[in-house]
């Protein structure tokens, strides 16, 4: 049975470190780290994907728009139930994009008798710090390992691949993303979970390990 296992919804603007912190939680507590981006990529790469799901994912990817809500719900809800059967908990990274989706997730959790296990965390980061952080980071083009700050070598320590800066990590691009994915845009989701009394705001303008300790304390 998967009841009583924690379910953490991790939110924050791009570059707030939510992906990194989600991975830390997954490793330390043996939770499953789920992100809708990973679920969509897995759907596109699998050889036995549901035709309807695959068509929607291919269309949204080709046209450059967000996938339909029904697909996100189907992929996420299925993955959550599967993960709770095999892991000690689940951490959701970037799974909810608006308040109506948050309401649908709540409905799912209540139907599955999981709502009491859900906690939502929002990583608060100053805009200028966010821009500095993202424009400083580098990634491995082979294994996608993230290097938070500029590194002296262009060789990945994980796989030996080449470390590069992504085009969308340029400062001007980051500023544009902040306007469409920052606190003001996510405020309705924050308000939704705050009204349910399951939200904690985490001050994330700190070193990675300090932020992780704050997350741990918030979940105690």
CATH code for the domain of 69: 3.40.50.300
Domain annotation covers residue 69: yes
Residue 2: the pLDDT is 52
**36 is an annotated ligand-binding site residue:** yes
Residue 150 annotated as lining a ligand binding site: no
Is 140 annotated as a binding-site member? yes
Residue 12 inside a domain? The answer is yes
Position 181 scores a pLDDT of 74
133 is in an annotated binding site: no
pLDDT of residue 41: 87
Split the chain (220 residues) into runs of 10 and give each run's mean pLDDT: 82 88 96 91 87 86 80 94 96 91 97 97 87 84 83 88 85 78 87 98 93 96
Quote the distance between the C-alpha of residue 86 and its chain's center.
Answer: 20
What's the number of domains the chain is made of?
Answer: 1
103 belongs to an annotated ligand binding site: no
Query: Considering the domain boundaries, does residue 27 fall inside one?
Result: yes
76 is in an annotated binding site: no
In a domain, 201, yes or no: yes
Q: What is the pLDDT of residue 160?
A: 94
Residue 45 lies in a domain: yes
20 is in an annotated binding site: yes
- Residue 64, marked binder: no
The answer to whether residue 17 is domain-embedded is yes
Q: How far apart (Å, rounded) are the C-alpha atoms in residues 13 and 6? A: 23
For residue 147, being part of any structural domain is answered with no
Left if phi > 0, otherwise alpha if psi is -120 to 50, otherwise beta: which for 152? alpha
Domain of residue 200: give its range: 7-126+181-219
Task: Check: pTM over 0.85? Answer yes or no.
Answer: no
pLDDT at 1: 43
- The answer to the question of whether 17 is labelled as a binding residue is yes
Residue 38 lies in a domain: yes
């Amino acid at each position: 049975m998967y009841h009583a296992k924690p379910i953490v919804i991790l939110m924050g603007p791009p570059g707030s470190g939510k992906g990194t912190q989600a991975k830390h939680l997954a490793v330390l507590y043996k939770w499953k780290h789920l992100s809708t981006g990973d679920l969509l990529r897995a759907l596109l790469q699998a050889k036995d994907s549901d035709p309807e799901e695959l068509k929607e994912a291919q269309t949204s990817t080709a046209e450059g728009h967000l996938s339909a809500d029904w697909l996100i719900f189907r992929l996420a809800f299925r993955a959550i139930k599967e993960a709770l059967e095999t892991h000690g908990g689940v951490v959701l990274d970037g799974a909810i994009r608006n308040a109506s989706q948050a309401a649908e997730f709540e409905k799912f959790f209540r139907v599955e008798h999981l709502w009491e296990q859900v906690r939502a965390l929002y990583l608060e980061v100053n805009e200028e710090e966010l821009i500095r952080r993202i424009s400083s980071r580098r990634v491995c083009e082979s294994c996608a390992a993230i290097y938070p700050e500029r590194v002296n070598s262009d060789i990945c320590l994980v796989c030996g691949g080449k470390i590069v800066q992504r085009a969308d990590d340029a400062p001007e691009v980051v500023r544009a993303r902040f306007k469409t994915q920052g606190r003001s845009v996510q405020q309705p989701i924050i308000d939704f979970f705050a009204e349910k009394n399951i939200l904690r705001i985490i001050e994330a303008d700190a070193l990675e390990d300090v932020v992780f300790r704050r997350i741990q304390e918030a979940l105690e």
